[in-house]
Amino acid sequence: MFENFKPLPADSILSLVKMFREDPREQKIDLGVGVYKDASGATPIMRAVKTAEKQLWEQETSKSYVALAGDPGFSDVMVDLVLGDSVARETVAAAATPGGTGAIRQAFELIALANPDARVFVSNPTWPNHVSILNYLGMEYVSYRYFDSETRGVDFDGMLADLKEVKAGDVVLLHGCCHNPTGANLNLTQWQAVVDLLNETGAIPMVDIAYQGFGDGLDEDAAAVRLVASSVPQSLIAASCSKNFGIYRERTGILMAVSADASQRGLNQETLAFLNRQNFSFPPDHGARLVTLVMNDAELRADWKAELEDVRVGMLNLREQLAGELQRLSGSDRFGFLAQHRGMFSRLGTTPEMVTKLREEHGIYMVGDSRMNIAGLNAQSVPVLAKAIIDVGV
């Protein structure tokens, strides 16, 4: 059996990590890995999460399984966080998953189960694992235009033109906020146009929201997904707690299925539990329990929100500093898009050759498509990056 294995393509980001680790230069900058880092380069445990862990250690009396869909309390706080009061709770089925990736995988499995002929429309570019999972599952997908390489903003006309090809039963995968890898987001007027198109065609939205709180604020970042969920008959939402709670290794995510008819919720809930059972049985609970403790304690929730806001504002300040430094060095405002993007990532919009020059000549590591993690910077490294970008002729 094993002799039938064939070498698989190397993960570009993991390969970049290895190259960065083996680079002997002292002045090198890692903008490749998609995790939040503070000014010292660490990925800290948030204060409220640390306190919740202490509480959990004292309170927890069993490590027995919880339920196939996870703890209902976790579902409740996550539905509230992501959807607020935009839809009635009794219309939302939800199941905990191993991270946001697990939620996306389960959503694709659900789509294939419900409609094997469904096509999934995916933005170009998108998070590479979207396409990787679709390919692995043998599901048909169609790319739609999204990023304008000239303006470094959204090619909204191209996006709408491509999405007009969707048919009833197809699924449109959308990034709820902080688009990965570009950082370029739709405004609410554009979101309304997408909603109108979905209702006209009968296509079903699937929203991936992995960075709520990293863009314009918790409620502001959820505005689009709330608009979608409240405006279409059915929707899928995959949410992650890795970034905004800083619990990457706890693998804490959730998949929600929203229907217009509350009577559909029971069957949706059974289906989500069934899919969990087929894939991993019971989802991990530790991270979900921490999130639940934080969200249900007014003091911890306030402290979490305050620290998350510090993280968000810190990334915005780095964006503005970088855009300003590039304007000073270039005498041009052509890098102003960096201050307009939101979330951890921006796509610089340059060639793979330029990305290679940045790495080889300046020790600056970013993904080959020029996606860079803004959170990998600090006030001291921003001028270094800006000078390198100008030196290589971006």
Catalytic residues: 127, 208, 210, 243
CA distance 254 to 103: 6
Give yes or no for a contact between 227 and 87, defined as CB atoms under 8 angstroms apart: no
In the numeric block, the tokens 């996550």 are attached to: 78
Strands 92-98 and 252-259: antiparallel
176's CB contacts (< 8 A; 6+ apart) are 207, 208, 209, 210, 212, 221, 222, 224, 225, 237
H helices within the chain, ranges in order? 12-22, 47-59, 72-83, 99-114, 128-137, 156-163, 188-201, 218-231, 265-279, 286-296, 298-330, 337-340, 352-362, 381-391
Q: Which two tokens stand for residue 352?
A: 């793979």
- DSSP per residue, 192-254: HHHHHHHHHHT-EEEEEE--TTSSS-HHHHHHHHHHHHHHSSEEEEEEE-TTTS--GGG-EEE
Q: What are the phi and psi torsion angles at 147 (to 5°)?
A: -100, 130
CA distance 123 to 130: 10
**CA 272, 82, 199, 123 torsion-angle sign:** negative
Three-state DSSP class for residue 139: coil
- DSSP per residue, 54-96: HHHHHH--------TT--HHHHHHHHHHHHTTSS-GGGEEEEE
In the numeric block, the tokens 């998949």 are attached to: 255
| Cα angle 276-56-280, degrees, rounded to a multiple of 5 | 15
Q: What are the phi and psi torsion angles at 208 (to 5°)?
A: -100, 110
CA atoms within 13 A on the CB side of 127: 24
**CA 276, 278, 280, 285 torsion-angle sign:** positive
